[in-house]
Amino acid sequence: MSLLKKATALVAGAVIVASAHGYALAQNASPDDVARFLAGMQPSAGSPLTPLTRNQGWQRHAKWFDSNWDVLEKRQLSKVRAWSERNLKDYRQNTLYYMFSGPDFMYANAFYPSANTYLMAGLEPVGAIPVATERTVGSLPRIQQSIGTSLRLSFFITNHMRSQLTGGDLAGTLPILYVYIARFGKTIRDVSLVNLDRDGTVHPAKGEARNMVPGVKIVLGSGSGPTQTVYYFRTDVSNSGLQASGFLKFAATLGNGNGLIKSASYLMHSGNFSHIRDFIMGHSQYVVQDDSGIPLAAFRPESWNFQPFGAYLGPIAIFPGRSQPRLGELFKKAKAPPLDFGIGYRHRGHDSNLLLAVRKDQLKLSAPQTTQAAPAPATQQAAPAEAPVTTQTAPPLRGMASDDRAPAPAEKQE
C-alpha cells in the first residue's frame, strides 16, 4: 500500500473512531441537556452535547425557537399565566387532570405552573427516551413541524402530529414534552418509561407488554421549589377503552385536583365518554375548559359555581350539533369579561371562550389514596338540559406558513 493510501486510511479510521466516541459521549448526556438541546437552548456547562451546538443546523433551529417562543410568550403565555394567577389562586398545587392533552405540557404548565402532578393522556405514541447526536440535528425540523400548530393556534392538529411523530428519529410525544419542559425553565431530574396494568399499578417498561398501557414518568425540578411529576399515557379514554385498562384506577390514586380541557373535539358531549367526564368532575376543585369540554348540562348546579370568560359563539362549522344555548345564556347573563388571549378552536382571542367551574363543596373532596384502589363509582350524571346555573360575578409563526385549520371531529379519539 502506498504512503498516500495508508495516510488516507489512518485519517478515515480516526474520523470513524472520533465519531463513535462523540456518539458515545452524546449517549451519556443527561435528559435535561437533551431537552435543552432539542429546545434550541444551550446545554449545561461541560455537557457532551456542547460541540453539537456548533452545527449550523442546530443554530438555525435555535434561532427559529428563540424568535417564535418570544412572540408566543408575549402574545399568549404571559397572559395565560396572569389569568391563572387571578382566577386559580388557592388550588394550583394539586394534581392536574388534563385528558385529551396529547403532549401539550405547554398549556398544562401555563394554567397550572405549580401542580404537584400532571396526568396527561392521548392517543399519540410515547416513543423512546430521546438522545441527541449529529444525526439528531437533521431531525430537528420535525420538532418545528410537530409543535408549529400548537405554538400558533393553541392546539395540535392531531392527524398532522400523528404522522410527524411516527417513525424515524425523535418519534413519539417525548421529544415534544422535553421541549416544552426546557422552554419553561424546568429541569428534568429523571425520566422512565412505564407500563400500567389492569389494576392501575405502574411497572417499569420492559419491551412490549400486552394488556398494558404504555406511558412515561418525568420528574421535574424548578429552582429550589418542590419536585413535580409528569405522567403521559397513550390510552383510549372512551368508556370501552377505560373498562379495558387500569387508567382510572391509577388516576384515583393521585387524589383530588383540578381539570383542564381544551380542543377536545366535543367528545364528552357523547355518552361514549361519560366515564372520563364523570371522573374529572368527581375529582376536581376547579375545571378550566373551553366549550369543547364537559357540556354545561353535565354539571350539577347545586355543586358548582360558574364564571365564563370571553365570548361564546358556538362550535366551529366542522362540529355541527354541539351548540349549547344554555351556555350562551350563561355568558350573556354573567356579562363575561373578555379574554386577552386566544384558546381552543376559536383561537383568535376576541371570539375565544373559557368556563371556570368551581366546586362549592370543597370540604367533601377526599385526600389522595395511598393504595392502588379502584375509584368509587361516579355519582354525577348529566343534569337536565334546562337545568339552572349559578354564576359568579395569532400571527403566523416566523418561517412557517399560516395554517388555521382545526382538527376534524374524528381526529381526537372517535
List pLDDT tens digits, range 317-349.
999 999 999 999 999 999 999 999 999 888 776
Residue 337, pLDDT score: 95
pLDDT for the residue 375: 41
Answering whether pTM is above 0.85, one says: no
Q: Averaged in consecutive runs of 10 residues, what is the pLDDT profile of the chain (414 residues)?
A: 52 40 63 97 95 96 91 92 90 88 93 96 93 90 74 50 58 92 96 97 85 96 89 97 97 96 95 97 96 97 95 94 96 94 82 94 55 40 42 39 37 44
User: What pLDDT was estimated at residue 315?
Assistant: 95
DSSP string, 348-367: SSTT-EEEEEEES-GGGPPP
For residue 195, what are the β-bridge partners? 203, 214
Q: pLDDT of 262-304, one tens digit each?
A: 999 999 999 999 999 999 999 999 999 999 999 999 999 999 9
Contact between residue 37 and residue 52 where contact means Cβ atoms under 8 Å apart: yes
Exposed, middle or buried, 122 (CB in 10 Å: 0-12/13-18/19+)?
Answer: buried
257-261: strand order across its sheet: 202-204, 187-196, 213-221, 228-234, 117-122, 95-98, 257-261, 284-289, 353-359, 304-310
Rounded distance, CA 76 to CA 152, Å?
A: 10
Helix, strand, coil percentages, rounded to 5, for the chain: 40, 15, 45
Tell me the C-alpha distance between 331 and 74, whole Å.
27
Q: Helix (H, G, I), strand (E, B), or coil: what is residue 84?
A: helix
- Indicate the length of the chain as a whole number: 414
